[in-house]
């Protein structure tokens, strides 16, 4: 598996060019998703006149993602590809360990949450998430397996965040989640 990962990183290094580097550089700051979420909320408010703010699941997904990927990185201790592959030149120099990709984890968690709350944006949101993940391999700071693991972890945490948000809203609205919510015949 390690050889395949190394070959893929070197393949991506061979694809490097100024336009791709500029495109992928947009995705470097983790605050990228804050901007996307704010733009979606504003767009739908202007179009519909209603405020749909997925704030609870957004905050849950962001915090759960950060906590989980940092805990896993500290447990696994996988070195970054540019430290292990001779001839690989990273375009950026991150700190910490490689597995899983924090950017991919956060991107997929945010994509799941935002596409749930704004279903008409599902395709572009997931395309952005995938581009963010692949940008990490392109920059030479993650293996593809780091990114794929991040996508999986992010998807799980995104769905958990949505379900936690629904539970929190139900509890705060006085719905007893311990009782069955079957319709009365």
**Residues identified as active-site:** 103, 142
Residue 82 neighbours by CB under 8 Å, 6+ apart: 88, 89, 90, 140, 141
Residue 20 neighbours by CB under 8 Å, 6+ apart: 138
Residue 108 neighbours by CB under 8 Å, 6+ apart: 129, 133, 150, 151, 152, 153, 154, 155, 158
Cis peptide upstream of residue 100 (ω within 30 degrees of 0): yes
Which tokens go with 110? 């945010």
Q: Interhelix angle for 2-14 vs 144-172, to 10°?
A: 100
How big is the CA angle at 54 (ends 51 and 60), to the nearest 5 degrees? Answer: 155
């Amino acid at each position: 598996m390690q050889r395949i990962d190394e070959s893929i990183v070197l393949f991506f290094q061979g694809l490097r060019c100024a336009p791709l580097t500029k495109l992928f550089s947009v995705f470097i700051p983790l605050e990228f998703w804050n901007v996307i979420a704010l733009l979606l909320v504003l767009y739908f408010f202007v179009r519909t006149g209603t405020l749909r703010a997925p704030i609870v699941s957004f905050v849950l997904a962001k915090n759960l993602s950060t906590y989980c990927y940092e805990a896993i990185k500290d447990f696994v201790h996988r070195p970054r590809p540019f430290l292990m592959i001779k001839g690989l030149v990273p375009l950026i120099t991150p700190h910490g360990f490689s597995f899983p990709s924090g950017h991919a984890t956060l991107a997929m968690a945010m994509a799941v949450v935002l596409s749930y709350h704004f279903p008409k944006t599902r395709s572009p949101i997931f395309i952005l998430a995938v581009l963010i993940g692949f940008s990490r391999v392109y920059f030479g700071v993650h293996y593809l397996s780091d990114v794929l693991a991040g996508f999986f972890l992010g998807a799980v945490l995104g769905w958990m965040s949505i379900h936690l948000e629904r539970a929190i809203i139900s509890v705060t609205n006085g719905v007893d989640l311990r009782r069955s919510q079957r319709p009365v015949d």
